[in-house]
Structures are given as C-alpha cells and as structure tokens.
Amino acid sequence: MVTVISSSAEATESLGGQWAQEVGPGWVIALTGDLGAGKTQLVRGLARGLGSPARVHSPTFNLLNIYRGGRLPVYHVDLYRLPTEGELWEAGLDAYLVTDGVTVIEWAERLGREGWPRWAPQPARLRRVWLEVTGPSERRIVYEDAGPRFFG
C-alpha cells in the first residue's frame, strides 16, 4: 500500500494527473471516502492528465459521466445513490465497470464486501483508493493495485 498526504485540492488533482501516466485500457480506480474527501479532485486530475478538455464534476445525479478527448476515455461512475449491487445492475452501470478506457468509481464500497463483484468482468488492473479527511485542506490517500490474478 502507498500512502500520500495531500495538503490541498490542487495536490490531490496533481496525484490524479500522475496516475494518468500509469493507467491503460481496462483499468478501474475504486474510490472510497466520505463526502468532501477529494474523490472528484482525483478524477479531475486524472482526466486532465489524460488530456481531456472536459469539465469534470461528480456524477451523483447522472450516475455516469464520460470524458473523452484525451489519451483514454474516462468513465466516471458515482454509486452514492445506489446502495446495493442489485441497484447497480438495474441501473445498467455494469456495462461501464470495465471499459476501453479508465473507469473511476466513487463510493466503490457499494460494490460489495469483497471489493469487486464476482459477476463483473475483471479489470486489467484495480486500484483501490481510500481517502480520509485529516484537516481543513489535508487528506490522507492510501492506495493499492491488484491485477487479474487477485480476483480468483
């Protein structure tokens, strides 16, 4: 696991920009953290780092935003309003869990206790991210990567 202390929203976006240099098709970044923890800032930095000109905002009411125009498309999924795996399936978001681009999932803990639903296709790489508010503008960001063999 890697731990990063971010001292500002800009630093959190910068981390997302760094991740843009690593990601490839089929990657999933699963974000867990309270409201205001910086999940959308990470996605904003990732999209910018990939070269997308899109205005990135939380897709809470749309459930899904797609940002194109960069090296890879970014599929930004928000599960805040879908508390169960069944509701994710009913909403049709299962088709966007693993894509031709990078899928970023806010409120990823709603994917189930095992961290990735057994019925979903396996991502090329899964980056699990935990964001914690530790001060007015400070965040602790902990992440780990898992490859296909991790999922059994």
Instruction: Pull the structure tokens for residue 6.
Output: 């971010």
40, 106 contact by CB (below 8 A): yes
Its pTM stands at 0.91
Q: For residue 5, what are its two tokens?
A: 């202390």
pLDDT band at 106 (very low <50, low <70, confident <90, very high): very high
* Cβ-Cβ contacts under 8 Å for 42 (sequence gap 6 or more): 12, 13, 15, 16, 19, 29, 31, 104, 129, 131, 141
Length, in residues, of the chain: 152
Render pLDDT for 116-127 as a digit per residue (tens, 0 to 9). 777 778 888 999
pLDDT at 115: 67
Which structural domains are found in the chain, ordered by start?
2-140 (3.40.50.300)
Give the rounded percent of residues in the chain with a pLDDT score beyond 70: 94
